[in-house]
Amino acid sequence: MGSADHGERRSEIADGVLLLSEARTVEHGRENSTATKDGAIDGAVSVRRLVKRYGDLVAVDDLSFDVAPGEFFGFLGPNGAGKTTTINAIVGLATFQSGSISVFGADAVKEFRSARSYIGLSPQEFNFDRYLTVEEILVYQAGYYGIPPSRATPRALELLEQFELTDKRRATYLQLSGGFKRRLALARALVHEPKLLILDEPTAGLDVELRIELWEFLRRINAGGMTVFLTSHYLEEVELLCSRIGIINHGKLVALENKDTLIAKHGQGSLQDVFLELVGRHVSR
Amino acid sequence: MSNWIGFATIVRREFKRTMMTINQVVWPPVITTLLFLFIFGVGLGSTLRQMDGVPYVQFLLPGLVMLNVIASSYDEAASSLFQQRFQLSIQELLIAPLSDLELLLGYLTGSILRGIVIGALIMLLGLLVVHLEPRHGLVLFYFMFVTALLFSSVGMIGALLAKTFDNLAIVTTFFITPLTYVGGVFSSIQILPPIVHQASLFNPMLYMVDGLRFGYIGRSDVSPLIDATIVTLLAVAAFIIAFWMVHRGVNLRV
């Protein structure tokens, strides 16, 4: 995650996380193949008939989809379509009126401890604690997940090293540049070694070089077994990284397919064309 | 409660926040108390008559302790949670495997500790400056603890309801400060005119100050048992409301 001449360094970063992911993939393999009471196979994320209303506004309307373990899933939609609301419901930031969500088989409400411990979230907006240093942000976050400082501190130092944040460890997040803040958000999402990484606009505000480095990093951790759930307005990013794509509009799923099938089905050149065809009629242009 | 480390991390975070704002939240009450003791002890001490059979400065000190326990515990819970809501950093806790109870108890413990530590610092001043030692240590601690629990819970409720920092000041400016000042901190209700005396009995702060004063100097205007019952009931009610609000995710979970 550094400049161009840090290619080797980037590989080390990704390899470090890759090893952790591989170890966890082995551990998780058994869980991934277990069946729920209704006979469905547990997915990394299973959303069933989710409804979320804000007063009279239906933000998410009877939404159902699955993300398979190890998948790189893209979740798209125009502004206000219900993407962030859905993510918020998955991670526990939003309540919902009906439906169910499970994460690696754990119900997001009834078994919230397991479900939440499987998820690492890198949110769109920076939401770091201003009273903590960069290192403390990681150690405290691990603490909230039940990891004692004796284990959290070495893990935090390892991530700081991997994301080239070691020399910023005593800074507060307000002293970091946009690129370093994004790295910190990613390091924080990984500090408790989740199985599922949810990224909400992870490259927003990053320059091209940093964006490409992040893509490379995400590909590597996904190759190592980490399930990645990505939402982004950069459609070329989604097209490049994701194997399967869901498109939501007005709270309803309008497409859910393998990326290549989705593009081929609509007979056009790029994901952007498909996206505009599916949601464009609802968007003021 | 099963995520003890998560709970302890919240408490640790609250302690760190207090230490980082020590010049705003710890030293001001200590210095203000020292000034009160100087003015009413050294300055006006010889001109003031005794109150409830003890030198005025000794009568005053328990009230000052309670005043600061109330203000500190409310302020810590209210400002800390509201800041985290305002800056979105509360999301770090909301996505973690912490139960609503662990989350609430983490904040409350941090706030109660701040209230009790500041109360203890003021008592230490009392010991050094007026040589006043508590008569009934356990009673005194009980009133400090339950009052801190009450106002930490009120602080949580305020932080969840507030839309601006200015909203938080409403509770302090219009309720806590005036009710505490007329709640027996500076004078015994026995010397008040009958109608004011009767009105004072509806002021909940009176029972907190009175109970703590009993624990400190062994004198009270009301029965300590009545004090303890009222303060405990209020604390339990505030705790239940705060828990209900956290559980419902009021202004926490969208």
Residue A16 reports pLDDT greater than 50:
no
Question: By a Cβ cutoff of 8 Å, what residues of chain A touch chain B?
Answer: 54, 85, 88, 91-95, 112-114, 116-117, 119, 121, 123, 125-132, 136, 140-141, 143-148, 188
Sheet bearing A72-76, strands edge to edge: A119-122, A196-200, A227-231, A72-76, A244-249, A252-258
Average pLDDT, chain B: 91
Residue A23 is predicted with a pLDDT of: 37
**Does A283 score more than 80 pLDDT?**
no
Residue A209 has what pLDDT?
Answer: 87
Residue A22 confidence (pLDDT) above 50? no
Residue A27 is predicted with a pLDDT of: 38
Residue A269 has pLDDT above 80, yes or no: no
Q: To 10 degrees, the CA torsion angle through B151, B153, B154, B156?
A: 130
Measure in Å the smallest separation between the Cα of A112 and chain B Cα atoms.
Answer: 7
Q: Yes or no: say if A121 and A198 are a contact pair by the CB < 8 Å rule.
A: yes
Cα distances (Å, whole numbers) of residue A142 to A23, A128, A159, B15, B89:
19, 14, 12, 18, 14
B46 falls in which pLDDT band (50, 70, 90)? Answer: low
Residue-wise pLDDT tens digits, A116-161: 999 999 998 999 999 999 999 999 999 999 999 999 999 999 999 9
Taking the CA of residue A88 and the nearest CA in chain B, the distance in Å comes to 8
What tokens were used for A23?
Answer: 């170890």
Beta carbons of A94 and B95 less than 8 Å apart: no
Q: Nearest CB to A121: which of B6, B84, B95?
A: B95
Chain B hits for A80, CB-CB cut-off 8 Å, are: none
Q: Per-residue confidence at B131, pLDDT binned at 50, 70, 90?
A: confident
Residue of A nearest to B10 (CA): A144
Inter-chain touch A127–B91, beta carbons under 8 Å: yes
* Mean pLDDT, chain A, whole residue set: 84
Cβ(B56)–Cβ(B83) below 8 Å: no
Min Cα–Cα distance to chain A from B118, Å = 21
Q: How many CB atoms lie within 10 A of CB A188?
A: 26
Measured between CA atoms, how close is B16 to chain A, in angstroms? 8
Q: Among 3.40.50.720, 3.20.10.10, 3.30.530.20, 3.40.50.300, what is the CATH number of A4-279? A: 3.40.50.300
Tracing tokens 């979970």 back to the chain, one arrives at: B253
pLDDT digits (tens, 9 = 90+) for B87-113: 999 999 999 999 999 999 999 999 999
**Is the CB of B19 inside 8 Å of chain A's CB atoms?**
no
* CA pair distance A248, A75, nearest whole angstrom: 7
Nearest-by-CA chain B residue for A136: B13
pLDDT of residue A276: 82
Q: What is the pLDDT of residue A264?
A: 84
Question: Is the pLDDT assigned to residue A185 strictly greater than 90?
Answer: yes
CA-based nearest residue in chain A for residue B19: A131
- pLDDT of B147-177, one tens digit each? 999 999 999 999 999 999 899 889 889 999 8
- CB distance B20–A131 less than 8 Å? yes
What are the beta bridge partners of residue A98? A51
From chain A, the residues in CB contact with B11 under 8 A are none
Kindly calculate the radius of gyration of chain A based on its CA atoms and give it in whole angstroms. Answer: 19
**In the predicted model, what is the mean pLDDT of residues B8-15?**
96
DSSP per residue, chain A: ---GGGHHHHHHHHHHHHHHHHHHHHHHHHHHT-B-TTSPBPPSEEEEEEEEEETTEEEEEEEEEEE-TT-EEEEE--TTSSHHHHHHHHHTSS--SEEEEEETTEETTTTHHHHHHHEEEE-SS----TTSBHHHHHHHHHHHTT--HHHHHHHHHHHHHHTT-GGGTTSBGGGS-HHHHHHHHHHHHHTT--SEEEEESTTTT--HHHHHHHHHHHHHHHHTT-EEEEE-S-HHHHHHH-SEEEEEETTEEEEEEEHHHHHHHTT-S-HHHHHHHHHGGGS--
Distance of residue A40 Cα from the nearest chain B Cα, in angstroms: 25
Pairing of strands A72-76, A227-231: parallel
Tokens for A277, please give them.
């065809």
pLDDT in the model for residue A268? 63
Asked if B8's CB is within 8 angstroms of A146's CB, the reply is no
pLDDT of residue B138: 95
pLDDT at A21: 39
The DSSP output letter for B249 is T
Residue A37 has pLDDT above 50, yes or no: no
Q: Considering only CA atoms, which of A267, A270, A197 is closest in space to residue A237?
A: A270
For residue A206, the model assigns a pLDDT of: 83
Question: Which of these ranges, A7-16, A100-109, B133-142, B210-219, has the smallest mean pLDDT?
Answer: A7-16
Checking if the pLDDT of B220 tops 70, the result is yes
pLDDT at A7: 43
For residue A93, what is the nearest residue in chain B, using CA coordinates?
B253
User: Which chain B residues contact residue A140 at CB under 8 A?
Assistant: 9, 12-13, 92
Looking at per-residue pLDDT, the higher value among B192 and A114 belongs to A114
Query: Where along chain A do its domains lie?
Result: 4-279
Comparing A14-18, A73-77, A217-221, A252-256, the range with the smallest average pLDDT is A14-18
So what's the pLDDT on residue A281?
Answer: 54
C-alpha angle with apex A223: A219 to A227, nearest 5 degrees?
Answer: 85
Please indicate whether residue A230 or residue A205 has the higher confidence score (pLDDT): A230
For residue B216, give every residue at least 6 positions away whose Cβ sits within 8 Å of its Cβ, in sequence order, or none: B61, B62, B65, B123, B132, B134, B135, B140
Say whether pLDDT at A227 is over 80.
yes
* Cβ-Cβ contacts under 8 Å for A192 (sequence gap 6 or more): A117, A120, A141, A142, A145, A147
Three-state secondary-structure class, residue B53: coil
Confidence at residue A142, expressed as pLDDT on a 0 to 100 scale: 97
Q: What is the mean pLDDT of residues A75-98?
A: 93
Cβ of A91: how many Cβ atoms within 10 Å?
Answer: 24
Average confidence (pLDDT) over A63-80: 93
**pLDDT given for residue A1 in this prediction:** 52
Per-residue pLDDT, averaged over A251-259, amounts to 91
**DSSP state letter for B167:** H
- Beta-carbon separation of B254 and A127 below 8 A: no
Q: Do B97 and A113 touch (CB under 8 A)?
A: yes
**Lookup: tokens for B55:** 């030198």
Among chain A residues, the shortest Cα distance to B8 is held by A143
Report ipTM for this prediction.
0.89
pLDDT for A178: 87
The torsion region of residue B184 among left (phi > 0), alpha (psi -120 to 50) and beta comes to left
pLDDT of residue A94: 94
Mean pLDDT on B18-44: 86
Instruction: Map out the domains of chain B as residue ranges.
Output: 4-248
Across the range A167-184, mean pLDDT stands at: 92
Q: Determine the distance in angstroms separating the CA of B179 from the nearest CA of chain A, rounded to an integer.
A: 33
* Mean pLDDT in residue range B3-26: 94
- pLDDT over 60 (residue A110): yes
Tens digit of each residue's pLDDT (9 = 90 or more) over B111-128: 999 999 999 999 998 888
